């Protein structure tokens, strides 16, 4: 099920069908207004030019069956000017698929690849997968990972699957575990961080997140997997899903993630770069959930890239 391409020169209204129930309005518009820059989609949302049931909404509004969505005139890009992902990148992502069935695709997302194109990026994971799977008309991201974070990323292949997975996320029914290499040591092996996070945009346009009582509730459960000289390999379980949550909470504890250029320690990052760390050491290792009415959990595990495994081995030898 899909809507036809919009007429760009006139305001038009859509009646939302059941297959789109629960989808965020920004993701719906990015997919519907093919060829329109993501920056423009967010601009018309901020300005209130997109209305739902005659009212203004935010980008994170979730659609409901029967909603009336007013879309303003927008300038569509010519199809032949849209950039296509080169074959090397497509091959890289094809090899990164760790599971696929009729409902779902699970990717071990490489570090350095954004989930969405835009903001100076010619493509993201979702654009590349749509090019890889042109017959799949309903591919949508279930959640997001930072560009520099690697690991398990869920992509729904059916609207019904997307709706179910979003419901599971809202009810904390998807268990997401990350591993990170951090600078420093804690006095105990398990720590729960309950610290609200607030988004800020700096003068240069850079987005930063900070612990602030005005922010949204944010909870991360950390546990130590391995201690090395002045370092720890830790597991982080997300109890909420805020932007940069693990990175900010780790830094809040005084143990920033190594390779984190935004929230990390510059001196420690330089030392680790000399030791061979070329990226943020944060990896979405496992995802676990159960489809409604099924008896067994679905569990997905994304292995660390070889360069990170080799780094860990060198650090173990050094700290032995």
Residues with catalytic function? 146
- Residue 183, burial from CB neighbour count under 10 angstroms (0-12, 13-18, 19+): buried
- With contact defined as beta carbons under 8 Å apart, do 96 and 39 qualify? no
- With contact defined as beta carbons under 8 Å apart, do 30 and 116 qualify? yes
- With contact defined as beta carbons under 8 Å apart, do 152 and 300 qualify? yes
Instruction: Tell me 303's DSSP state.
Output: P
How large is the C-alpha radius of gyration of the chain? 21
83, two tokens:
């950039």
- CB neighbours of 187 closer than 8 A, spacing ≥ 6? none
74-94 burial, b at 16+ Cβ within 10 Å, e below that, comes to: beeeeeeeeeebeeebbeebe
**HEC string of 71-128?**
ECCCCCCCHHHCCCCCHHHHHHHHHCEEEECCCEEEEEECCCCCCCCECCECCCHHHH
Q: Using CA atoms in the order 156, 301, 228, 317, what is the torsion angle rounded to 10 degrees?
A: -130
**Cα gap 188→63, rounded to integer Å:** 44
Q: Using CA atoms in the order 311, 313, 318, 320, what is the torsion angle rounded to 10 degrees?
A: 150
Instruction: Tell me 168's DSSP state.
Output: H
């Amino acid at each position: 099920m899909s809507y036809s391409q919009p007429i760009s020169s006139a305001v038009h209204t859509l009646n939302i069908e059941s297959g789109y129930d629960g989808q965020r309005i920004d993701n719906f518009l990015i997919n519907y207004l093919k060829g329109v820059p993501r920056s423009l989609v967010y601009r018309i949302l901020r300005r209130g030019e997109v209305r739902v049931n005659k009212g203004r909404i935010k980008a994170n509004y979730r659609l409901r069956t029967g909603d009336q969505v007013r879309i303003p005139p927008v300038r569509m890009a010519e199809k032949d000017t849209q950039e296509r992902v080169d074959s090397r990148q497509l091959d890289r992502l094809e090899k990164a698929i760790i599971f696929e069935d009729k409902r779902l695709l699970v990717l071990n997302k490489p570090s350095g690849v954004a989930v969405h194109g835009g903001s100076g990026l010619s493509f993201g994971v979702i654009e590349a997968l749509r090019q890889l799977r042109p017959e799949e008309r309903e591919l949508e991201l279930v959640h997001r990972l930072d560009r520099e974070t690697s690991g398990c990323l869920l992509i729904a292949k059916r609207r019904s699957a997307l709706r179910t997975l979003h419901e599971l996320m809202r009810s904390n029914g998807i268990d997401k575990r990350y591993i990170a290499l951090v600078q420093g040591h804690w006095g105990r092996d398990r720590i729960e961080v309950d610290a609200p996070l607030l988004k800020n945009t700096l003068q240069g346009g850079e987005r930063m997140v900070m612990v602030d009582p005005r922010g949204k509730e944010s909870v991360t459960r950390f546990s130590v997997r391995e201690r090395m000289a002045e370092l720890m390999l830790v597991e982080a379980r997300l109890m909420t899903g805020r932007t940069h949550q693990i990175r900010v909470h780790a830094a809040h504890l005084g143990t920033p993630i190594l390779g984190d250029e935004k929230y990390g320690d510059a001196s420690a990052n330089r030392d680790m770069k000399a030791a061979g760390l070329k990226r943020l050491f944060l990896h979405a290792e496992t995802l676990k959930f159960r489809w409604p009415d099924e008896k067994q959990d679905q569990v997905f595990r994304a292995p660390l890239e070889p360069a990170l495994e080799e780094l860990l081995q060198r650090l173990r030898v050094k700290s032995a």
